[in-house]
Every structure is written in structure tokens, then in C-alpha cells.
Amino acid sequence: MEVPWLLLVHGSVTALVVVSFLCGQWPIFEGTFIQSINHFLTFGAYHYLLRFVQSVCGTGARDLVLGVEGYCCDRPNPILQVFYVAIIGVTYFIIVQTSFQYIPGYYVSGLHRYLSVVAVSVGAILFVLTSFSDPGTVTAENVSQYVSSYPYDNIIFVEKECSTCKITRSNMFHPVQINIIKSGQKVFLGGGQPGQSTVEYVTSVLLDSITIVDGWYLYLLIDGIAFASFMHFLICLYGALILGFILAGEIKERKIIYILTVYYGIDNSFSGLFPHVAQWLLAVHNTQILLSVFLAILALLLGGFCAYHAHLCLTNTTTNETFKWQDYIMWMKKENEAKADAATLRSSIGSANSDAQKAPPSKWRTFFMRSRTPSMEPVVRNNIYDRGMITNLCEVVVPLSERKAFSRMKSD
């Protein structure tokens, strides 16, 4: 019975780490151990590493680590490209070495061998196209066109007189030190940040560059391309299913169930066979089990991820604007609550003065009168960039910077 508990602990720890890393900053986890794990993974571990390096090797070594951080995160460099290519090569090599020997199998066709080569090749080609394409840089020549396309709403974007202020719906990408117009997505991929001009390449890369056939997943941080995240979900689900079919085929071909029930007298039931089958799988196919569990958890997370980003696309909202709207709505609610409390206080003082000479009301009447507080004014989210679901979706698929009208405006 130790094997099922080992699987349960492994799955629970993996799910806890993934959920803590991705969702630990949510308000629902505030003050919980999930928030503490998220803080340790995103900030605490690196902070303790710096302290350890300084205490062991001195301040010079700490400055060296900070210099490497500055080079990797704040300056143009090919590290992301090299890392991406290394991930593709090493991952595909591991997949070939560990899983291709079972293809074709009892439930898996030999076609998956060729599909993997196509996926890796197309993913590499689209990665190169994305790396060397224009991300939609905001310059002095096109800034007026972007401002006319995305005017200030004076709610979450307010125009200011400042030489370094960004235009609406733009983002500074620090590794290349350029300002990029956002199209609902933010993908840290290659040497730049794909913006409006590269959305078609980015979408294609996200469909193919997650080179999974029987295993691994390369995580790309995406904001707002719902279709791409849906394809991530399908690819992870596909990898988990292929691994599951490989394992099921191995059990079928080697007649594990028959051997356990006939030769060892194991009860032919799920509760009786599961511990022994799991023990055999862990001993013979531990790599495939770990990869399938990993992909299944990612597929579950990406399902919710896809739904959230589909909502962003259909409402023409970026993740940055989502946080701005949350802050604005929270501030307006507090202001409305303060107004309602002030109105309640004034009405209670007025009623107390007028009823000073009257007999005190009953407790029931006082209770129900206390519950009748003035209703707060609802906070309306007036998103001027939301032009309807069809128009919003077209703006993501065909960004403004790729349209002929926008090009004519730039030439004029």
C-alpha cells in the first residue's frame, strides 16, 4: 500500500506547488500558507540565495549575481532564444529516448512519430519568425496614430504632461528598452515582446512551439490570446492521453491483469488490482507516469486559463487594465460606502432629534429600521475600448498596426 500513497503525495505536492506559484497572489489566498509558498517561490528563494552568497563568498559575489540578473532581465541578450532552443532539443531527445520505443503500440499509432517531427520543426520556424519580427514598437512617427486609435478614457488612463509618460494600452519591455503597443497579449518569447505586429506569428508559435508528443511542456507566459491558450490545453491533454494510452497498451500487451489474477490470486477488482498495477508501472514506466501527471495538472490549469483569457479577448481588456479596473471599482465602492454611511448618520441624527419627545420604539421596529440603510450607487465599468465581441476578436486577429487604414494614417 506504499505505492498509492507515494503517487498521492507526489500529485498533491505537484498540484500545491503549481497552484501556489500561479495563484498564490490572489486575494482569496491572502494570509494562507499558499500565499507564503508563492512569496517564497517568487521572491524569498532568490532573496535567501543572495544572502547566502554574500555570507559565504562576500559582497563581490553578490554583486556578480546581481550583474547576471541585470544582464539577463534588463538588457538585450540572446539568452531566451538559446534557452528556448535548448529546451526544444533536450526535451525532444528525452521524449525520443523514453517514449518512442513504445510507438507504435497496442493503442498508439506509429503516425505520432512523424507528428512529433512536424511539431518540432514548425515550432522552431515560427519561433525564428517571431524573434525577428517587429513587435509593434511605439515611435515618434506612429504615436499619434496609436493615441487616436486608443484615446484616454480619463478613468484608468489619464493624459498627463510628462516627457516620459506612455500612451494608453502600451507596455515597456525592459530587456530591449522599447515601448510596445499591447493587443491583449504579453508573451515573453525570444528577444522581444510580441505585440500587435507579431500577434499572428505568436498565435502560430503557441500552437506549435509547445513541442509535446509524449511528454514535456514549455511554459510561456501569455496574456490574452484565448485561442492559443486553448491550444495549449489541447496539447497538454494530448500528451497526457498519449502517455496514458502507451501505459494502457503496455499493461494489455504484457497481460499484467491476467498474471495478477490467475497466477497471484489477486481479486479482479479495482481496489485489489490498483496497488499492484501502480507498483509495476512505477518500476517499469516511472518517467511516463510522472510526465502524464504533470501534463494532466497543466491541462487542468490551462482550461481555466483559457476561459479567463477568452473573456479578456471578448471584452477587449488587457491584464494590466484588469488590475486597474479592480483598483478603480474598489476605490469607488469605498467612496460610495462612505457616502452611504454619512447619509445614514445624518438621517439617524435627524430622526433622533425629531423623536426625542416621543416614546421609544419597540426593539423589533428598531432592528428593521436599522437594516434599511440607503442603497449604494452601483459602480459601472465603462470600458470605451469594448466595441462588441466580434469587433474585439477581429482586433486581436488583425491588429490595428497591420491594417491598411493605419498604414495610410502613418504615411499621411
Q: What digits encode the pLDDT tens for the residues 161-193?
A: 665 566 555 555 444 444 445 544 433 333 334
The reported pLDDT for the residue numbered 297 is 79
Q: Which three cell numbers stand for residue 116?
A: 512529433
Inter-residue contact 235 to 210 (CB < 8 Å): yes
Q: What is the pLDDT of residues 186-205, one digit of tens each?
A: 333 333 343 444 433 333 33
**Nearest-angstrom CA–CA distance, 312 and 127:** 25
Q: Which three cell numbers stand for residue 87?
A: 529546451
The reported pLDDT for the residue numbered 195 is 43
**Nearest-angstrom CA–CA distance, 214 and 225:** 25
Inter-residue contact 219 to 198 (CB < 8 Å): no
**Nearest-angstrom CA–CA distance, 286 and 309:** 34
pLDDT band, residue 407 (cuts 50/70/90):
low
pTM, rounded to two decimals: 0.57
pLDDT at 118 over 80: no
The reported pLDDT for the residue numbered 342 is 82
Show the CA angle centred on residue 280, arms to residues 274 and 281, nearest 5°.
85
Q: What is the pLDDT of residues 122-141, one digit of tens each?
A: 767 766 776 676 656 667 77
Half-sphere exposure of 313 (CA within 13 A, CB side): 26
Mean pLDDT of 287-305: 79
Inter-helix orientation angle 286-315/2-23, to 10°: 30
pLDDT at 327 over 70: yes
The reported pLDDT for the residue numbered 190 is 34
Residue reference for cell 503549481: 18
**Nearest-angstrom CA–CA distance, 194 and 48:** 33
The reported pLDDT for the residue numbered 163 is 58
Inter-residue contact 220 to 126 (CB < 8 Å): no
Beta bridge partners of 286: none
Q: Where exactly are the structural domains of the chain?
A: 1-74, 75-348+381-412
**Nearest-angstrom CA–CA distance, 189 and 222:** 10
Mean pLDDT of 81-97: 74
